[in-house]
Structure 1
Amino acid sequence: MKTITKTYESSFRERGSKFMGYLFPAESEEEFQEQLDTLKSKFPDATHHCWAWRLNPGQPKEFSSDDGEPSGSAGLPILNQLKSFEVVNVGIVVVRYYGGTKLGKSGLIEAYGSAAKHCLESARLISIQPVQLFEIRYPYPEENTINKLKNDYELSVQDSQYLENIKLKVACPKKNNRLFEKEISGLEHLEITFKKLGESFI
């Protein structure tokens, strides 16, 4: 699965109608709604603001809206592009200004799908990987031991506290999870302890 970190836009005309696509990151329905409201206030005179989103890489949720266009002719083709590109935590809004010529249902499906596709093709898509989160505690002299673990198991530090001992919150790719846990379990004699925190995505 993939996601994005910034907004991408597309624009084209089809038989007089103008279609403007906006692809942006959104990690919640509230975040998506804020972006949608912003676009509606930016283009208050547009004929339609059709959209789709996909959220939550663990158990993807998705939704779409035709915003007054014939059923299935706008929101669904936008959503299908999001699924085709395997992206999550994103939303796309396609703003349409009607140009006086009806496109028909098949024409609308093509136009809204194209607007979404153009955005996605121009976007820098970033892979999301499932991880297991761990908390590691260790004394300062074992910094090199922990650095070796970081390299060997592709650990990424999510949070750190340097007090009497060091406490790290790390994300371990799921593919390395079991081997990492097995190795760190054998380091208690060095006063290195750990606990599992749950699963996530980075």
Structure 2
Amino acid sequence: MKTITQSYESSFRERGSKFMGYLFPAETEEDFADELDQIKSQYPDATHHCYGWRINPARIREFSSDDGEPSGTAGLPILNQMKSYEVVNAGIVVVRYYGGTKLGKAGLIEAYGRSAELCLDVAKLVTIRPVQFFEVKYPYPEENTINKLKNDFELKVEESEYMEDVTLKIACPKEDAEAFENALKRLVHLNIRFDKKEEHFV
């Protein structure tokens, strides 16, 4: 699966109608709704604001809207492009200004799909990996031991807290999680403690 870290735009005309595509990151429905509101306020006089979104790579949820276009001619083609590019935690809104010539169902499907595809084509897509989170606590003298583990298992520190001991929230690639857990178990004698947390994607 892939995601994006910035927004992208596209624009073209089809028999007088203008189609403007907006692809942007959205990790929650609220993120998407905020962006949709901004686009609607930017183009309040547009004929349609059609869209699709896909969120939560752990258990994908997706939705699309035709916003007044004939059923299945706008939101679904947008969503299908996102699926074909395997993009999650993102949304696409396509703004249409009607140009006086009806495009027909096939023409609409083509135009909305193309608008989404033009955005996705220029986007820098970032691969996301399934990870297992761990909370690891250790005394300061064991910093080198933990650093070696970070290198061995390609760990990514998400949060850190330096109190009496060091506490790290660490993301470990899912495929290495069992081996990493076993390595931690072998370090208990060094007063290195850990808790296995939730699975996620980074």
**Matches of 1:191 and 1:151, distance apart in 2:** 20
In structure 2, the partner of 1:33 is: 33
The normalised TM-score by structure 2 is 0.98
The answer for unaligned runs of 5 or more in structure 1 is: none
Letter in 1 for 2:102: K
In structure 1, the partner of 2:134 is: 134
Report how far residue 140 of structure 1 moved.
1.1
**Matches of 2:108 and 2:87, distance apart in 1:** 23
In structure 2, the partner of 1:145 is: 145
In structure 1, the partner of 2:125 is: 125
In structure 2, the partner of 1:177 is: 177
**Matches of 1:184 and 1:124, distance apart in 2:** 36
Report how far residue 80 of structure 1 moved.
0.1
Q: Within 5 A, what are the aligned runs for 1:1-202?
A: 1-202=1-202
Q: CA RMSD in A?
A: 0.7
SS at match of 2:67: coil
Letter in 1 for 2:125: L
C-alpha deviations, 1:63-83, integer Å up to 9, x for none? 100011111100000000010
Letter in 1 for 2:74: A
Letter in 2 for 1:124: K
Report how far residue 149 of structure 1 moved.
0.2
Letter in 2 for 1:73: T
Q: State the 4+ residue runs in structure 1 displaced beyond 2 angstroms.
A: none
Report how far residue 161 of structure 1 moved.
1.1
The answer for unaligned runs of 5 or more in structure 2 is: none
**Matches of 2:62 and 2:137, distance apart in 1:** 39
**Matches of 2:193 and 2:33, distance apart in 1:** 43
The normalised TM-score by structure 1 is 0.98
